[in-house]
Each structure stands twice: as C-alpha cells, then as structure tokens.
Amino acid sequence: MNQDHNTPFITESIQDKVATISFYSPASNSFPSSQLEKLTSIITKLSSNTHINTIILKSEGTGAFCAGASFDELLSIKDTTTGQTFFSGFANVINAMRKSPKIFIGRVHGKTVGGGVGLAAACDYCFATTNASIKLSELAIGIGPFVIEPAVSRKIGKTAFTEMSLAAHEWKTATWAQNHGLYSEVYDTVDRLDLEVETFATKISSYNPEALCEMKKIFWEGTDHWTELLHQRAEISGRLVLSEFTINALNQFKAK
C-alpha cells in the first residue's frame, strides 16, 4: 500500500468476514478533526455491511499507537463551539463503535495517550504488545479525559481511571493495562501480536452473526445515554481548551 507518510490517512480493507481499519498521522498517530470524522464515517459504513461481522482497529508505524488529539488543532481552537465540535469527534467515534453490531478487535502495538486510550477501551477485545504503555495526560495540559471517561471507566473501573487521571504524567505499563481489563492479551513482539489478532478475528468471524450482534448489545448494556453524555463532556473540554493554562501548557509540550 503506497501512502504518503507526511499526510494523515485512514484505510479500510476486507478479507472474508473481517474488515480492518488502519489510521496514520505523522504526529505520533494523533487525530485532527478531519481524521476523526473520516474514522466515524468508515465505522458507520462497515457497520451496515452484512458480509462482515468483525472489525480490526489498528494504526500504522512502529512508534505510538495513538497520541490522542492533535496539539496543532487544539491550539487553533478560538471559540467554545469549535472546541466542542473538535472533542465531539472522539465522542462520535466511540458512539459509532458501541452502536455497531460488529465486534471490534483492537491491535495496540505501541504507546497510547488520551483519546487513544479511549479508542482501545471502545474495542470489545484488545490485543497489545509489552510496549503499549498508556497514559491519560489531559490534566497536565489543563483539560481532562472527559469524553473518553465512560468508555475507559467501563473497562478498567472508576478507581483505576481516577488513578490514571490524577497521575497525568505517569505511564502505566501494558501489564497494568491488562491486569485492569483494558487489554485482553499482551505479547512480546509485533509479529506475535499480528498472528494472534488474525487468528482471533478469524475465529470470531466464523461465529453466528446474529448471536454476535445480540452479544454486542449485552456487552454495551446501559450505555444508551452516551450519545448525549459524550457530547456534554465535549462541551467541557471545548471550554477548558481555551483557558490560558491550557494554551500555555500546549505550547510548552510542543516546544519539547
């Protein structure tokens, strides 16, 4: 696949009953709003495809799995409406994943921060490598992991979420993430990771699609209010991103 690795992109492919979505950004696989919008659109389209029942979510490169929100775009936000719209991008992706009748398998090959942790948490089953440390750094830049909190807390519990949020400068290991339920399996190498993801996806895709759809509903019971909740949370982030604290912190992070 020939892609311009100076430009963000998202690709989709289908093999048998398994779809794969792969995203990339030269800025450590962080997400500008256009990428979030495209990812939501692809998830929605694949969710209505009756020929598949499993979707693998992965990113390209050998570095970070996902660095969360694009700092450049965060710094470009000048009003609360634009801010809410940007953070609603993550809300839309998470809601699209939870509403989808397909089973989402996460393939997390490297470190993931903020919104990336939210994406991993929104997967129904997540594979990772020992390099896939996680961090919720939002408080360190003056905002908070508001939009992704329901998805992350659903997976690791409110106590572990609180620990991650307050220790905003601290990386949690892949083993920690597995012990707290974010990752289902952790492997030493990317080659082993890819083998296990492919094997698992093939097995899942062989199951009765009606049964998988009904199970997906059970997995996400009690989340119907998230459509409204996550957009309310996006409003909080959209307001805080305009604060002097956040603007200064973002500039300091970019200067490192």
List pLDDT tens digits, range 162-201: 999 999 999 999 999 999 999 999 999 999 999 999 999 9
Furthest CA-CA distance within the chain: 53
Q: What are phi and psi of 255, to 5 degrees?
A: -75, -15
- DSSP notation for 144-172: --TTTHHHHHHHH-HHHHHHHHHSTT-PB
Q: Kindly state which CATH superfamily the domain 9-206 is placed in.
A: 2-enoyl-CoA Hydratase; Chain A, domain 1 (3.90.226.10)
Exposure b/e, 81-108, CB count within 10 A at least 16 = b: ebbbbbbbbbbbbbbbbbbbbbbbbbbb
The CA-CA-CA angle for residues 78, 81, 82, to 5°, reads 50
More confident residue, 12 or 3: 12
Within 10 angstroms of residue 121's Cβ, the number of other Cβ atoms is 25
Q: What is the pTM of this model?
A: 0.95
